[in-house]
Amino acid sequence: MEIPISERLKKLPPYLFADLRRKIAAARQRGIKVISLGIGDPDTPTPDPIVQELCRAVRDVNDPNRHRYGCDVPVAEFPQAVRDFYQRRYGVTLREDQVVVTSGSKDAIAMFPMAFMNGGDVGIAPAPGYPTYNIGHVFAGADTYLAPLLRQNDFLMDFEAIPHEVRRHAKVLWLNYPNNPTTAVADLEFFRRAVEFGRKHDILIAHDAAYSENTYDGYKAPSILQAPGADEVAVEFFSLSKALSMTGWRAGCVVGNASAVRGLRTVKENVDNGILRGIQFAAAKAMNVAEELIPPINAIYRRRRDWVVEALNRSGWNIPKPKGTIYVWAPVPEKYNGSSAAFCTDLLETTGVVVTPGLGYGQWGEGYFRISLTYPDDVIQEAVGRIAQLRL
Ligand SMILES: Cc1ncc(COP(=O)(O)O)c(C=O)c1O
């Protein structure tokens, strides 16, 4: 028997990478030697001090709670390490009730709207953007307004362009800088304007800071919580995944407005059982020594970024080196008339290199493609060499 899916599931767009995986499999079957630069999942291992701390904690026979539900016997060191990190890194003081630790940010982003949105409410999401913002709205029975990130605005959200009707019904507005997929970065002045907009229209501003630590050439990304009055309307989703090569560990936090933190905590208490204590200890360790562990990881991405951007520019592109994220975002060449799917298919057929078509991030991503830097040096170099042979 085929079980009919819910109206809710019917509303979900196809998973971005499902189509990509199918195309890769088909190309391989045809004998093409495929190199994928499609997915942003760090290839470099988690730094050893973090792994050591996990091993210590899961083996600690003096800790009788070491294998129990992480929510019932939480590790206070983790939220404390988050607070210390925000103080050191941004000069932001967080009270205890302004921090909730999460199993990475994807789950938290998907759950968050359930705490604050009802049917008929609207969530404002960046377009192109990370698909989970919209998915969270759908699960909460709410609608999404896609706010375009345009090149002429340096891919910053234009608050003034958000229609008044949307502002009236909006409960949550998502931002993400450094931005996936456009690689744009925002300064504190932009976050000030975001906070002002949220206060004026009673909209909760949710900043996804998944790439806040993946920055280069001396650039340091600000936190939205540095903006005056931010803790009245804003929360920030921080993740250890990309900063510390910890995607599989599922560790992060949401910080800022205390009532928003409390709402998410209530949803979490009802749908998950917390994080293994060993992971919480390891995450605390990671945050406590983040400043030592992150620069060597970023040095790897910077080197790869340079190879990719310089190779593209030698082949006729003209793109600046991104200051943040683990991606390169580039326009498709003119002869493809703006079709990212046509370019990516042609690239795969002629060179075996897989990149993500911008259209996968919705219509506002059309005309661009994304290269992920989370593949080993030799793979990136091989891919770059193949792209250089493309005749544009
Ligand atoms: C913009 C953005 N936010 C959140 C995430 C989720 O990261 P995690 O759930 O590993 O913290 C990703 C992952 O690719 C992302 O690109």
Residue carrying structure tokens 């991405």 = 301
CB 252 less than 6 A from any atom of ligand 1: yes
**Residue-level pLDDT at 24:** 84
What confidence score (pLDDT) does residue 349 get?
A: 87
**Ligand 1 pocket check for 179: Cβ under 6 Å:** no
pLDDT band per the 50, 70, 90 thresholds, residue 39: confident
Instruction: Indicate the top mutation candidate among 208, 238, 275 to test ligand 1's pocket, ranked by most ligand atoms within 8 A of CB.
Output: 208
pLDDT at 20: 72
Whether the per-residue pLDDT at 221 is higher than 90: the answer is: yes
Please report which residue ranges of the chain form alpha helices under DSSP H: 7-10, 16-29, 48-59, 77-90, 104-116, 132-139, 164-169, 188-201, 230-233, 258-271, 277-288, 290-314, 340-351, 377-388
Provide the whole-model pTM. Answer: 0.96
- Whether 245 lines ligand 1, by a CB cut-off of 6 Å, is no
Cα 268 to ligand 1 centre (Å): 18
- Strands 368-372 and 35-36, how do they pair? unpaired
Mutate to test the pocket of ligand 1, among 20, 149, 180, 182 (most ligand atoms within 8 A of CB): 180
By the 10 Å C-beta count (0-12 exposed, 13-18 middle, 19+ buried), 384 is classed as: buried
Q: Which residue in the block uniquely carries the two structure tokens 């091989």?
A: 382
Q: What is the pLDDT of residue 338?
A: 92
pLDDT tens digit string along 344-383? 988 998 899 999 999 989 899 999 999 999 999 999 999 9
Q: Is the pLDDT of residue 253 over 70?
A: yes
Amino acid 174: pLDDT = 98
Nearest to 226, CA basis, from 181, 186, 266, 259: 186
Per-residue b/e over 137-154, b at no fewer than 16 CB within 10 Å? bbbbbbbbbbbbbeeeee
pLDDT value at 59 more than 70: yes
Output the pLDDT for position 163. Answer: 98
Note the pLDDT of residue 390.
75
Whether 144 lines ligand 1, by a CB cut-off of 6 Å, is no
Q: What spacing in Å lies between the alpha carbon of 348 and ligand 1's midpoint?
A: 26
The residue nearest atom 14 of ligand 1, judged by CA position, is 40
Q: How high is the pLDDT of residue 16?
A: 64
Average confidence score pLDDT of the chain: 95
Transcribe 17-76 into DSSP letters: HHHHHHHHHHHHHTT---EE-------SPPPHHHHHHHHHHHH-TT-TTTTS-TTTS--T
**Mean pLDDT for the stretch of residues 278-288:** 98
What pairing do the DSSP bridges indicate for beta strands 122-127 and 353-354? Answer: unpaired
What per-residue confidence (pLDDT) applies to 248? 97
Counting from 1 in the atom list of ligand 1, the atom nearest the Cα of 241 is 10
Read off the pLDDT band of 188 (50, 70, 90).
very high
Instruction: Assess whether the C-beta atom of 239 lies below 6 angstroms from ligand 1.
Output: yes
Mean of the pLDDT values across residues 82-102? Answer: 98
Does 241 sit in the ligand 1 pocket, CB within 6 Å?
yes
Task: Tell me the residue type at 184.
Answer: A
Write down the pLDDT at residue 392. 65
Q: What is the distance in A from the centroid of ligand 1 to the CA of 379? A: 23
pLDDT at 391: 65
CA of 105 to the centre of ligand 1 (A): 6
For residue 25, is pLDDT > 70?
Answer: yes
Range scoring the smallest mean pLDDT among 17-21, 35-39, 191-195, 303-307: 17-21
Instruction: Say if residue 194's pLDDT is above 70.
Output: yes
* Cα–Cα dist 323/185, whole Å: 7
> From ligand 1's centre to the CA of 350, what distance in Å?
31
Mean pLDDT calculated for residue range 238-256: 97
Is there a contact between 344 and 38 (Cβ–Cβ < 8 Å)?
A: no
Region 176-189 average pLDDT: 98
Report which of 209, 191, 193, 189 is spatially closest to residue 201, judged by C-alpha positions.
Answer: 193
Look at residue 27 in the predicted model and tell me its pLDDT: 86
pLDDT at 244 over 90: yes
Ligand 1, residue 176: give the atom nearest the CA: 1
Cβ(295)–Cβ(136) below 8 Å: no
